Structure 1
Amino acid sequence: METGTSVTKDSRTRPVPRLRPTGRVPWALGLPAAVAAVFALLPLGYLCVRALEHGPGYAWDIVTTERAAMLLGRSIGLAATVVAACLVLGVSLAWLTTRTSLPWARGWAVLVTLPLAVPSYVAAFAWLSAAPELAGFTGSALSLTLVSFPYVHLPVAAALRRTDPAQEEAARSLGLGPVRTFWRVTLPQLRPAAAGGAVLVALYVLSDFGAVSLMRYDTFTRGIYTSYRASFDRTPAAALSVVLVVLTVVLVAAEARTRGRAGYARTGTGTARPADPAPLGKWLVPALSWCAAVTAAAVAFPLATLGYWLAVGDSATWDPARLTETATSTLAVAAGGAALTTVLALPVGVIAARHRGRAAHLLEQAAYAGHALPGITIALSLVFFAVRYAHPLYQELPLLVGAYAVLFLPVAVAATRAAVLQSPPGLEDVARSLGRGPWRVLREVTVPLAAPGVAAGAALTFVVCMKELPATLLLRPTGMDTLATRLWTETGTGSYAAAAPYAAALILLAAIPSYLLGRHRT
């Protein structure tokens, strides 16, 4: 372990253990992080057992069928279309709200973050009820694009705020126009943020179940769900899930390669100054129209559609008591999922930020395993685990909360890691020099310093837990509904007026933390 020196009150100098990046992980952090990693890897273990249950040949025959090839092509095509559209929307809106003289830029920045509160199946419900002819690829791509582009917009906007404008000014002084400067200087600096957001969008699309199900468009997730419902043999569903995992690994590896070894940080002396807002001039009206059009399609249209169906509904479709009970259940289970996820993510995020080496790397990567799997696959793995080894948990609330933790552990780990990296490690060194152990340092120094970032990660986890659908459909206790499952049930039968109250309540509850996250980032 790295050592340093500290001067105590009696002026003696002695070596002090440091928490600077090192390969040695204290057991007080390593043990709970290992528990979180094993928990996250449980679904992958299930896939290995189930997919090979009847031998490799049987699994190979399943994944090489014509239907599997069709599902693969459709999933890749849908993901590619949505990613391309999200890059256009996310980068353009980030530029307009951070680098130009756009009127009310901070307000637009918050508005274009609000689609995070709209679940994909709510967007699909809105478009399908208004234009049934959109069912299929077009409706799926449109719905997923309008709820996914903030995953690109948020990191790109943050990167634009941190980017030193000196390079752009130098390019302009050498004769490059605004467009060429953007393509040759600004855009390359945004590549890591845009690529990271694009991967999140692709993973979101590949794992989406709600939108494609409502739009009746077959992708891998819908194929897995159909296979699960059609037969008692779970091997076909597991084999198809393995293909989805491989596709996800390829995507993540490709994103890592796009980063290369280029440096993107300022290395000169002094500090970077904020960029001067670029005047829009004759482009002011088109810029405002673009922001208004995106906001209208992504936020105003779903709300207006819900308002219409709420007005059409009557006492036969409204059930306030059931709506209140369902909303309460949703908040309770989402809060439980967010709390468990944050607790599991805390030691992993601290290790990822403060330690280096193979052990730290493996723990961090293991925590991201759930991100490679759709919710339905994780639900199947936990059903298998409960039936075989923990039967009292089957169709009980702890199993559903555990599924949320596996699914959204990467969200909380990323937020915790970023928050810990931004807190000064010197204060932790001082605490160690005063005789505090790793656990007390974590509790008394690291967590309080990183608390705002950890809280933001918990809020985002709470939002995504409320919106989760496939795992909730399979794992919720008998007789319990969430807003998501009730909306899906009503929409599946074409009862749009009956579904509208649940969709409106879900958006309202999810909008509050989403709004706070948007304001925090502007």
Structure 2
Amino acid sequence: MSRAIAPSRNAHTAPSPWIIGAALVPAALIALPLIYVAIRAGQTGLIGIWEEIFRERTYTLLRNTLMLAVGVTVAASAVGIAVAWCVERSDLPGRRVWRVAAGLPLAVPAFVSSYAWSSIDVMFQSMAGAILVLSLSSYPLVYLPVAAALRSTDPAFEDVSRSLGDGPWRTFTRALLPQLSPALGSGALLVLTHMFAEFGALALLRVQTFTTAIFESYELQFNSATAALQSVVLMALCIPAAYAEMRVRGNKRVARVGRGSARNVITVHLGRTTFPVLGGFLLLGVLSLGVPLSTLAYWLFHGSSAGLGYAEILPALMDTILFSLSGAIVTSVLAIPLVLLAVRHRGRLSAVVERLPYIIHGLPGVVIALALVFLSIRLVPIIYQSTLLLLCAYAILFLPLAQSSLRASVELVSPQIEHIARSLGRRPFPVFLTVVLPNIAPGIGAALALMMLEIVRELTATLMLAPTGVSTLATEVWSYTYDAEYAAAAPFAALLVLISIAPVWFFTRRMLRYGEVL
């Protein structure tokens, strides 16, 4: 049995000045991409905007972007929900192993999978190849929340459906699917926003979308005006999807009482379809994990470019650890006041500053980086191509993930504890440091781990904003692969996968064990 946590009686108390001030810092940071796009569009003028938006190339980019996003979302959703149902509701052999293994493709970054597939044959460097590769990389984003939801749904609805004479398919569509719709919608929207923001994988698979076009306009053609106007069109696609994702996240439960339904779920016997279903799982494992990992293993020891990048492995690894750790700390610190304001002091201000990061979340790193480059050169030139500017980009990109990790921990800390400390004469900020902070430490730890995993794999903003002479594992993979030096890229890609395996394994087991959703 599950229920939502009731709002605290103190949810509408006036926030402390330090919370308001601290929350406005990330809010102002998040607003920078919107300010940038508005400034550049205004400088171009109505005629320039009209010519750019309604030219043939824009239509081509729009068609490609929508085709890719919709194709991957539909394919990933179909695979994700099918895998989730098989491991949770059928007698599939070895389903305990499959339950965790099905989430492991998340350990292979999408651009690493694209590197592997594109190095096999140029036939995968196409729209069809991109949909295949990105669907295989993205389906766990649907599988994990749907599997978690299946473990906590009430089987009584299915029993009633069967008692009315409905077959397995009608029982699934009428009784079970409506219960899974929030988890399915959340996962599908997450895939959709990821596809709007994807760059590295598409650049390697030679598929042109708005993200690749924006990057080329800025990096290759030095045309920031065109890049800004293309960003306007992309924002028109991203913001509704990101807002819908935020609404779905906001409607999900945040706590559970117990470990799910007390009633036993009826396991469906696969019968004659056991071996075909098992074969499908094996094929999925080969395509999503076997092909990328075996291709990596091959290129580690073969190819004319083997050994070219060995001298750069250690510096790239150290820079990756440095940026991921510092970026995770900065992002988590900025997220804490946002979450405290949203949970403890609900109102218009808290609603705006909490939701703004989710709306920007759908924008790709290339737009964020472009905004920071433009504004830093004109307002604060000294921070251009500095570590500080890159950390700002990481904070803008990953604040929503830090908020999600921290919110549950903050909601579990009773505000009465703070009131008792305040009644003893202590000021708000010392109360936060000595009372609240120790109690939300587990959430901070989870946020740091998740942020580090995401920043290690981040590519676009790092390519555009990293200080001169600095590289990461992700940027080295992209650079070598873009020049078709697959063997030289292999060690960097292998290290990325190794770094990602442990966190992905941990988060997969945690989500499925506690019935959490993304």
1:148-181 deviation line (CA, Å, top 9, x unaligned): 1122122222222222222222222232233211
Percent identical residues: 40
Aligned to 1:62: 52
Task: Report the secondary structure of 2:43's partner residue.
Answer: coil
Q: Deviations over 1:393-433 (max 9, x none)?
A: 21122211221111111111122123333455554455455
The answer on whether the counterparts of 2:53 and 2:229 sit within 8 Å (CA) in structure 1 is yes
Q: Work out the CA distance in 2 between the residues paired with 1:215 and 1:353.
A: 43
Correspondence for 1:512: 502
Moved more, 193-202 or 365-374: 365-374
Deviation at 1:493, TM superposition (A): 1.2
Partner Cα distance (1:387, 1:337) in 2: 22
Per-residue deviation, 1:185: 1.1
**Displacement of 1:130:** 1.3
The aligned residue for residue 380 of structure 2 is 390
Instruction: Pick the aligned partner of 2:267 from 261, 268, 278.
Output: 278
Between the aligned partners of 2:475 and 2:87, the Cα distance in structure 1 is 36
Separation of aligned partners in 2, 1:391 and 1:264:
45
Task: Note the C-alpha offset of 1:357.
Answer: 1.6
Instruction: State the distance in 1 between where 2:74 and 2:181 align.
Output: 14
What TM-score do the two structures reach when normalised by structure 2?
0.90
Matched residue SS, 1:216:
coil
The amino acid of 2:299's aligned partner reads W
Structure 1 residue 195 displacement after superposition = 0.9
Question: Does 1:381 pair with 2:345?
Answer: no
Alpha-carbon distance in 1 for matches of 2:371, 2:394: 13
**Cα distance, 1:511–1:274 mapped onto 2, change above 3 Å:** farther
**Residues 456/326 of structure 1: CA separation in 2 closer, same or farther (3 Å cut):** same
Match in the other structure for 1:168: 158
1:134 aligned partner, one-letter code = F
Q: Cα 1:342–1:181, aligned 2, differ >3 Å: closer, same or farther?
A: same
With the length of structure 1 as denominator, give the TM-score of the two structures.
0.89
SS at match of 2:440: helix
| Contiguous gaps of at least 5 residues in structure 2 | 1-7, 513-518
Write the distance in 2 (CA, Å) between the matches of 1:381 and 1:171: 53
Out of 155-164 and 341-350, give the one that drifted further: 155-164
* Other-structure match for 2:18: 28
Moved more, 152-161 or 492-501: 152-161
- 1:310–1:255 CA distance, 2 compared to 1 (3 A): closer
> 1:5 matched to which residue of 2?
none
Give the distance between the partners of 2:255 and 2:509, measured in 1 at CA.
27
Q: Sort the Cα spacing of 1:430 and 1:165 in 2 relative to 1 into closer, same or farther, 3 A.
A: farther
Which of the residues 47, 50, 65 maps onto 2:37? 47
Q: What is the aligned residue count?
A: 504
The CA deviation at 1:228 is 1.2
Are residues 1:83 and 2:73 paired?
yes
CA drift of 1:250 comes to 2.5
What's the secondary structure of 1:217's corresponding residue? Answer: coil
For 1:364, the equivalent position in structure 2 comes to 354
1:117 is matched with which residue? 107
Asked if 1:404 corresponds to 2:394, the answer is yes
Partner of 1:303: 293
- Alignment partner of 1:162: what SS? coil
Structure 2 counterpart of 1:204, from 194, 200, 216: 194
Deviation at 1:337? 1.1
1:24 to 1:186, Cα distance in 2 relative to 1, 3 A: farther
Instruction: Quote the residue 1:465 is aligned against.
Output: 455
**Change beyond 3 A, Cα 1:167–1:422:** farther
| Partner residue in 2 for 1:188 | 178
Q: CA deviation at 1:296?
A: 2.0
Distance 1:422 1:187, change over 3 A: farther
Residue aligned with 1:164, SS: coil
* Residue 120 (structure 1) shift: 1.4
Q: CA deviation at 1:117?
A: 2.1
| Alignment-derived partner of residue 280 in structure 2 | 290
What is aligned with 2:516?
Answer: none
Distance 1:351 1:159, change over 3 A: farther
Contact kept, 8 Å, 1:423 with 1:449, in 2: the verdict is: yes
Question: How much has 1:456 moved relative to structure 2?
Answer: 2.2
Alpha-carbon shift at residue 497 of structure 1 (Å) = 0.9
Once the two structures are TM-superposed, the CA of residue 78 in structure 1 deviates from its matched residue by 0.7
Q: Which residue of 1 aligns with 2:317?
A: 327
- Matched to 2:30, the amino acid is A
- The question of whether the paired residues in 1 share the 8 Å contact of 2:185 and 2:248 is answered with yes
Given that residues 242 and 360 in structure 2 are in contact (C-alpha distance below 8 angstroms), is that contact kept between their aligned partners in structure 1?
Answer: no
Between the aligned partners of 2:84 and 2:344, the Cα distance in structure 1 is 31
Q: Cα gap change, 1:107/1:354 in structure 2, threshold over 3 Å: closer, same or farther?
A: farther
1:333 deviation in Å? 0.7
Compared CA separation, residues 260 and 454, structure 1 to 2 (3 A): closer
Counterpart secondary structure, 2:385: coil
